[in-house]
Amino acid sequence: MKRRLLLLLPLLGFLVLGAFLYMGLSINPFDRDSALMAREFPAFELTTLEDPERTVDASLFEGEVTLVNVWGEWCPTCKQEMPQLLDLADRGVRLVGVDYKDTREKGREFLAEFGNPFEVNIFDPEGSLGFDLGVYGAPETFLVDRDGIIRYHHTGYIRPEDVRDTILPEVEKWR
Amino acid sequence: MALILRLMLCAFLLWPILGQAAVEVRKFDDPVTEQRYRDLTAALRCPKCENQAIDDSESPIAGDMRDRVYLQLQDGRSDKEILDFMVSRFGDYVLYNPRLEGRTLLLWGLPVGLVLLGALVVVLMVRARRRTSVRDLSPEERARLDDLIKRERTE
Amino acid sequence: MQILMIPEIGHYALIIALLMALVQGVMPLAGAATRRPLWMAYARPMATGQFLFLAIAYACLTASYLLDDFSVANVANNSNTMLPWYYKASAVWGNHEGSVLLWSLILAAWSFAVSRFSRDLPRDMLARVMGVMGLVSVGFLAFVLITSNPFERLLPNVPQDGADLNPLLQDFGLIVHPPMLYMGYVGFSVVFAFAIAALLGGRLDAAWTRWARPWTNIAWAFLTVGIALGSWWAYYELGWGGWWFWDPVENASLLPWLAGTALIHSLAVTEKRGAFKSWTVLLAISTFSLSLMGTFLVRSGVLTSVHAFANDPSRGLFILVLLGITVGLSLLLFALRAPRVSHQVGFSWLSRDALLLINNILLVIITVTVLLGTVYPLLLDALNLGKISVGPPYFNALFVPLTVVLCLFMGLGPLARWKYTPVRDLLQRSWLAGLAALVIGAVAPLLYRGEWNLKVSLGVVVALWIVLPMARDLWAKSRHSAGRVAGLKRLSLAYWGMILGHLGIAVTIIGVTVVSNYAIERNVRMGVGDSAEVAGYTFTMTELANRRGPNYLADTAEIEVRRGDSQRSFTMTPEKRLYLARGMPMTQVALSPGLFRDLYVAMGEDLEDGSWAMRIQHKPFVRWLWLGALLMAAGGVLAVADRRYRRVVTARDPERAVIAEPREATT
């Protein structure tokens, strides 16, 4: 009897493995949480896209819940998600852009062409802020609460349903 | 098998313009630092790519990460500091050598446990089999066996 | 319009093949269960027919490729009019649908081969083996037809030209690597079928192992070559000189290899000594299960791998279900029918039996470790414990020490006798070899590089510890009154196979050790006229040019290479290509191969001032990696040629042998 149970072990092991493989089918390996979740927005000191003379830092986020969107003129997906960002701005969400690895002219052209939902755009030509944010591709979007803590992170394209189903509720939650 | 779409996925998914090559010309003060640079860039995973270390990825983020590793080495930071720096930005995902912690106990522990178990199994099995091996009969057993054989023959 | 009919003929042939596989899977098994010879007799003709129709289907797909029939979606996505004809033919398996078709074709070919070469098998045994293989075929053909039909059409909007084959696959290595690998993966289905047949029929004796062993060896040899080819291809095609990355897809091919290696050894014990019977059956099931799981891991995209295949969750689910049915049922059958009381075969500590037991346990531990590392990120993710990566540092930290321990026992294996070897004999046979291995290992790095290196010493000691005792054994065994040559001739081919296989491992170990520790890599900026010195060679760029290939544009550099102050020089021409159809850049490295060193030059990036970033590498002994694998494979094949497998096995009467003892009273 004991031996019979022993012979069942391989089957049990396989069933456990199979269950995990099944769960694995519905996992998106690219859907990773940001390492900065629940941590302070990284310190930075950069000029704005609009005004090369104006320097901003993390105090920008004090007192208000802010959606920070990392974009660049060279990023096609960023263009596609602009309508959703404009929609969010219309709904009274405060948006701040990070123009990532871009030139000032191209960044401005981009906003002129696709609209500007951002209260202000942080100009990050070297990608240093992006790096500190752990950004590895654009677009990426962070929700920062009124104390400057990162509360939500979205990698890649924001679909219209993401605005409704996740982003707006998250904004409400931290307001 | 093995169709590798690395270039397409890494270099062209979201970065149509900013192409970089993984071959960079870097100067090192001493061979030890150079070796550390190689080891570190081989042990860090590119967060953008499918499954590549930053030292062989052409993705821009991998290039940025190599730059940081290089600069921090020049600043005299330790390997641990550099790895912590990366983890604080990109998460544990970028470590090819997972740290020993609660959730990786099984990963590191199971092979060790299996070796111990394996050793035990070998010992038990050989001891069990040895008993059935003729050579290992004690003199008394041997005598009994001879006795039995003799009896068999005479019957 | 005849040309346009080709895909439909292929599709039709595929359906017929599926039906034949179904008959092959059901009738002989039912016949064996109910003892109806007529039903059992379906096995052979159905296997032949299935193979024939799959060959037709495969030929049709190849024809569509060669004729540039872009109305076939598969061709349109993976070929191009500019592609040379041989890449058109190999592009058939350069994509998901085609490679699954090739998988099925190879499975049918193995099935056909078993039906041809197993005329000596008892009728019910053959019926069961063929039935099991037929059922596996049914699963895969259904997979092809339902989720991955390569004959799907793009009508009426036929594209003008195809999207081209991925440039990385436009290469000789990729022409030969997948078929070899599949031959190995699928080849293990034979021993799997034998194991299931043994469980079903209750026959698991020396004759059974004698039938199963050659098939296992051949499949293992193919898999060995397949893995080596993949490693070789990655080495020269990916542009940075790595040869093993511990990527999930590579691990997926290594897992059945490791299990298969254990199986080969445990089959030896089962044949010679009648021991480890249920263990051998379990290994046979596991080896093929790991092959299937490898297919699942590669095709489903559950693991992030550098080898991004056509990942599709519905296909993943299909294969998982297939995997679950095949492996689940087999293991259930195993749990119910495995030999309950194993034959108590005695052996002592110092015996070949004990050493092979250790070999098996270590190989299984290594297999489990590799499997664990491969799926661990998935396990954590499924449990919502975050995303981590398990990569080369983890695998090396565990694989290397375990392999070293394995090799220590491996050195003794060929010296030990079955059952019992007196300590004195073993010491006498091995002390000199051991001492020589230690001494040579200790001084080898000093002689080679003038500096002591523990890792290199260890590698050399281990390799010599495998080779030297074997050499001594060969010397002792070849003693013959009619002279050495006669003595060598007298040795069995199986023995030679073992010698070659173990020698191959040693050669690979030397290659891994030396190239990992002594490879030199320099990234340099080079313009025309510039030189760089790497490992005693001077590399001078003499020319930069552009050229046009059949389907790409290339920047070409001419590098003149000179060793030391030597007068003679040779030219290496690395390229940076831009493939037109996909707009994809590719690094084409220049290689100067040699038995003791490879020189490796790759072009990096155009630095815009007339110079390029170049990667120059010196890779000592890197060829030994693959040379060793070839030796191992040769060993596997040689052992099959042994006389005892050619002897007609007189076992026509289906005597029910020992496997399932009468049900014991449950205690």
Cross-chain residue pair A101–B47, CB shorter than 8 Å = no
Q: What length does chain B have?
A: 155
- Interface with A, mutate which of C292, C344, C367, C378 (most A CBs under 10 A): C378
The per-residue pLDDT for range C182-214, each reduced to its tens digit, is 999 999 999 999 999 999 988 888 888 888 999
Other CB atoms within 10 A of residue C289 CB: 23
- Taking a contact as any Cβ pair under 8 Å apart, which residues of chain B between 55 and 94 contact chain C? 55-56, 91-94
Helix, coil or strand: residue C85? helix
Cross-chain residue pair A74–B89, CB shorter than 8 Å = no
Buried b (16+ CB within 10 A) or exposed e, C596-605: ebbbbbbbbb
Among chain C, residues having any CB pair with chain A shorter than 8 Å are 278, 282, 285-286, 289, 293, 296, 300-304, 313, 316-317, 320, 323-324, 327-328, 331-332, 334-335, 338, 340, 375, 378-379, 381-382, 386-387, 666-667
| Domain ranges, ordered by start, for chain B | 6-94, 102-154
Choose among C604, C76, C96: nearest CA to C300: C96
CATH topology of domain A30-174: Glutaredoxin (3.40.30)
The per-residue pLDDT for range C451-486, each reduced to its tens digit, is 889 999 999 999 999 999 999 999 888 888 888 888
Whole-number Å distance between alpha carbons of A34 and B8: 24
Residue A35 at interface with chain B, using a CB cutoff of 8 Å: yes
- Give the per-residue SS3 of C213-258: HHHHHHHHHHHHHHHHHHHHHHHHHCCCCCCCCCCHHHHHHHHHHH
Q: Name the band, by pLDDT with cuts 50, 70 and 90, for residue C659.
A: very low
Residues of B in contact with A138 (CB under 8 A): 14
pLDDT tops 90 at residue B21: no
The per-residue pLDDT for range A99-125, each reduced to its tens digit, is 999 999 999 999 999 999 999 999 999
Cross-chain residue pair C320–A25, CB shorter than 8 Å = yes
Phi, psi of A167 (to 5 degrees): -70, -50
Phi, psi of C151 (to 5 degrees): -100, 10
Answer for the pair C162, C76: CB distance below 8 angstroms, yes or no: yes
Cross-chain residue pair C373–B107, CB shorter than 8 Å = yes
Q: Which residue of A has its CA nearest to C329?
A: A11
Residues of B in contact with A77 (CB under 8 A): 14
Q: Tokens 């020049």, residue?
A: B74
C485 Cβ partners below 8 Å, 6+ apart? none
Which stretches of C519-561 are DSSP H helices? none
- Interface with B, mutate which of A9, A136, A142, A157 (most B CBs under 10 A): A136
pLDDT tops 50 at residue C649: no
C230 Cβ partners below 8 Å, 6+ apart? B1, B2, C173, C177, C181, C250, C253
Alpha-carbon distance values, B16 to A28, A113, C568 (Å)? 24, 19, 45
Q: List, in sequence order, every residue forming a beta bridge with C575; answer none if it has no partner.
A: C556, C588
Which stretches of chain B are DSSP H helices? 6, 12, 31-43, 60-74, 79-90, 105-132, 139-154
Q: Name the band, by pLDDT with cuts 50, 70 and 90, for residue C663.
A: very low
Q: Tokens 């495969």, residue?
A: C58
Q: Name the band, by pLDDT with cuts 50, 70 and 90, for residue A65.
A: very high
Tokens of C626: 């693959």
**Least CB-CB distance to A131: which of B17, B87, B89?**
B89
Choose among C5, C1, C53: nearest CA to C153: C5
DSSP C435-479: HHHHHHHHHHHHHHHSS--HHHHHHHHHHHHHHHHHHHHHHHHT-
For chains A and C, CB pairs below 8 A equal 74
**Average model confidence (pLDDT) across chain C:** 88
Q: Please, which chains are in contact with B (at least 3 CB pairs closer than 8 A)?
A: A, C
Q: Tokens 């057993």, residue?
A: B141
Cross-chain residue pair B6–C94, CB shorter than 8 Å = no
Residues of A in contact with B63 (CB under 8 A): none
Buried b (16+ CB within 10 A) or exposed e, C138-161: bbbbbbbbebbbbbebeeeeeeee
Residues of B in contact with C361 (CB under 8 A): 118, 121-122
Whole-number Å distance between alpha carbons of C634 and C501: 7
What does the pLDDT read at residue A54?
93
Residue type present at position C164: D
Choose among C509, C247, A36, A8: nearest CA to B2: C247
Residues of B in contact with A74 (CB under 8 A): 15-18
What does the pLDDT read at residue C276?
86
Q: Which long-range contacts (CB under 8 A, 24 or more apart) does A113-118 make?
A: A114/A79, A114/A82, A115/A82, A115/A86, A117/A82, A117/A85, A117/A86, A117/A88, A117/A89, A118/A69, A118/A85, A118/A89
Q: What percent of chain A has pLDDT over 90?
A: 77
What does the pLDDT read at residue C664?
34
pLDDT tops 80 at residue B144: no
Residues of A in contact with B114 (CB under 8 A): none
What does the pLDDT read at residue C392?
94
**Residue with more model confidence, C48 or C302:** C48
Give the ipTM of the model, two decimals please.
0.89
What does the pLDDT read at residue C661?
36
Q: Name the band, by pLDDT with cuts 50, 70 and 90, for residue C646.
A: low
Q: Which residue of A has its CA nearest to C664?
A: A1
Residue A8 at interface with chain C, using a CB cutoff of 8 Å: yes
Residues of C in contact with B128 (CB under 8 A): 344
Residue type present at position C89: A
pLDDT tops 80 at residue B73: yes
Q: Which residue of A has its CA nearest to C313?
A: A25
Burial of A80 (0-12, 13-18, 19+ CB in 10 A): middle
To the nearest whole Å, the CA of B66 is away from the closest chain A CA by 12
Cross-chain residue pair A76–B16, CB shorter than 8 Å = yes
Answer for the pair C409, C426: CB distance below 8 angstroms, yes or no: no
Q: Name the band, by pLDDT with cuts 50, 70 and 90, for residue C667.
A: very low
Q: Name the band, by pLDDT with cuts 50, 70 and 90, for residue C338.
A: confident
Q: Are strands A66-71 and A94-100 parallel, antiparallel or unpaired?
A: parallel
B6-94 has CATH 1.10.8.640 classification: yes
Q: What torsion do the CA atoms of C366, C371, C373, C379 make, to the nearest 10 degrees? A: -150
Q: Are strands C531-534 and C537-548 parallel, antiparallel or unpaired?
A: antiparallel
Q: Name the band, by pLDDT with cuts 50, 70 and 90, for residue B8.
A: very low
Choose among C52, C62, C78, C39: nearest CA to C168: C78
Whole-number Å distance between alpha carbons of A104 and A48: 10
Q: Which residue of B has its CA nearest to C102?
A: B1
Residues of B in contact with C266 (CB under 8 A): none
Choose among C578, C352, C498, C521: nearest CA to B28: C521
The per-residue pLDDT for range C372-408, each reduced to its tens digit, is 999 999 899 889 898 899 999 999 999 999 999 999 9
What does the pLDDT read at residue C567?
86
Tokens of A52: 């090369």
Cross-chain residue pair B48–A127, CB shorter than 8 Å = no
| Domain ranges, ordered by start, for chain A | 30-174
First to last CA, chain B: 69
What does the pLDDT read at residue C608?
82
To the nearest whole Å, the CA of A74 is away from the closest chain B CA by 7
